[in-house]
């Protein structure tokens, strides 16, 4: 691999060829604020918050889309750069509601974090502010276009991760919005409600509706787990407050899925506390399902299967397993059927 040496804030660093200036900074623990950048998405270079000064380059180039080059001299914190970032943040805050106290994103909002860092007051540019209707049309995603900073990450997540392209920019200039075609509510669009858009939103424009009012980021402990809904093995974080799961958020480190999840994994965890949930085995006695313990239930199944096999032969038995099961469970099921029962009659609900 070819390595390049460049100077960042007077410090000499080496990075592999093909690294962006932003990544070169982050690899070396040099903080650069970003709003539209996400490692799993293509870079738009749109928010312009990651601008730096590079010797010999015109203007202030955005580090997220500028390739590091041999001998490059980069300044990331000089007064000119910080002033430009501060003005960009002031511009964003000037067109953003300041209801942080009641915002679900408080404590996890990139805009608030940078505004604090750069001493932004929100008072420099007084003028027009957006006043758009909130999309509350569906049970999963709450969309507040007034909080949107138009970074475009949700659009890229929808297109590049989920492959649905439900979202895009509409209107122009100051009136630009993000949303489904014809500005339809999510519910009336072709949205899968995978929530990938929510997982990348840096502000409170897209939030998990189920979690609103249930807990603040600092009150929540995140428990990494594997999704129980199917055998893919997606990982995510259960958000737990006071011993209770209040929702699910993506875990960017998840080895199988990254931030991507499906609607069931991200928004289906309310089943944990559902009254309809079957929590013990049930045995039908005199036409009614009666709760039983596991030993009784398994004994009954074993004796019945043995009886059927003895009377009618192994091929009178078949097994159908579920997509809810893991690979390992499915493997065990077919092994049991072939080795113990002695039949090849196995199938799976997701086969067709």
Site residues (vs another protein, CB under 8 A): 43-49, 51, 59-60, 62, 65, 67, 83-84, 87-88, 91-92, 94-95, 124-125, 127-128, 149-150, 152, 168-169, 171-176
Query: Cα–Cα distance between 265 and 249 in angstroms, integer?
Result: 10
Strands 206-208 and 141-143: antiparallel
Query: Cα–Cα distance between 178 and 205 in angstroms, integer?
Result: 10
Nearer CB in complex with another protein: 80/335 = 80
CB of 86 to another protein, least distance (A): 9
DSSP collapsed to 3 states, the chain? CCEEEEEECCEEEEEECCCEHHHHHHHCCCCCCCCCCCCCCCCCCCCCCCECEECCCCCCCEHHHCECCCCCEEECCCHHHHHHHHHHHHHHHHCCCCCHHHCCCCCCCHHHHHHHHCCCCCCCCCCCCCCCCCECCCCCEEECCCCCCCCCHHHHHHHHHCCCCCEEEECCHHHCEEEEHHHCCHHHCCCCCCCHHHHHCCCCCEEEHHHCCCCCHHHCEEEEEECCCCCCCCEEEEEEECCEEEEEECCCCCCCCCCCCCHHHHHCHHHHHCCCCCCCCEEEECCEEEECCHHHHHHHHHHHHHHHHHHHCHHHCCEEECCCCCHHHHHHHHHHHHHHHCCCCEEECCCC
CB of 177 to another protein, least distance (A): 9
Nearer CB in complex with another protein: 90/208 = 90
CB of 170 to another protein, least distance (A): 8
Nearer CB in complex with another protein: 91/297 = 91
Nearer CB in complex with another protein: 130/309 = 130
CB of 124 to another protein, least distance (A): 7
CB of 58 to another protein, least distance (A): 9
Residue corresponding to tokens 């032969």: 313
CB of 95 to another protein, least distance (A): 6
Nearer CB in complex with another protein: 14/83 = 83
CB of 113 to another protein, least distance (A): 16
Nearer CB in complex with another protein: 144/237 = 144
Query: Cα–Cα distance between 184 and 186 in angstroms, integer?
Result: 6
CB of 51 to another protein, least distance (A): 5
Nearer CB in complex with another protein: 181/302 = 181
Nearer CB in complex with another protein: 111/220 = 111
């Amino acid at each position: 691999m070819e390595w390049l040496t460049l100077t960042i804030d007077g410090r000499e660093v080496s990075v592999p060829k093909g690294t962006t200036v932003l990544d070169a900074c982050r690899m070396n623990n040099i903080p650069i604020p970003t709003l539209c950048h996400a490692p799993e998405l293509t870079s738009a270079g749109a928010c312009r918050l990651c601008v730096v000064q590079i010797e010999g380059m015109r203007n202030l180039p955005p580090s997220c889309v500028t390739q590091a080059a041999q001998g490059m001299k980069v300044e990331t914190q000089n007064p000119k750069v910080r002033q430009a970032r501060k003005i960009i943040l002031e511009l964003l805050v000037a067109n953003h509601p300041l209801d942080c106290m009641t915002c679900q994103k408080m404590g996890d909002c990139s805009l608030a974090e940078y505004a604090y860092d750069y001493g932004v007051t929100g008072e420099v540019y007084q003028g027009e502010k957006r006043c758009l209707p909130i999309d509350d049309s569906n049970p999963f995603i709450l969309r507040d276009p007034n909080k949107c900073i138009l970074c475009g990450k949700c659009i890229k997540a929808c297109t590049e991760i989920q492959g649905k392209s439900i979202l895009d920019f509409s209107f122009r200039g100051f009136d630009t919005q993000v949303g489904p075609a014809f500005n339809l509510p999510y519910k009336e669009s072709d949205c899968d409600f995978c929530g990938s858009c929510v997982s990348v939103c840096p502000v409170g424009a897209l939030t998990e509706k189920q979690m609103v009012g249930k807990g603040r980021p600092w009150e929540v402990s995140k428990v990494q787990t594997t999704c129980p809904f199917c055998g893919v093995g997606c990982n995510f974080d259960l958000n737990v407050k006071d011993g209770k799961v209040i929702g699910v958020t993506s875990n960017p480190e998840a080895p199988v899925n990254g931030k991507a999840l499906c609607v069931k994994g991200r928004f289906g965890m309310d089943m944990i506390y559902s009254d309809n949930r079957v929590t013990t085995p049930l045995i039908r006695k005199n036409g009614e399902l009666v709760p039983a313990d596991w030993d009784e239930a398994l004994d009954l199944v074993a004796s019945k299967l043995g009886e059927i096999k003895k009377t009618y032969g192994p091929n009178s038995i078949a097994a159908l397993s579920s997509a809810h099961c893991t690979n390992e469970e499915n493997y065990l099921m077919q092994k049991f059927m072939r080795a113990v029962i002695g039949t090849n009659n196995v199938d799976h609900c997701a086969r067709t």
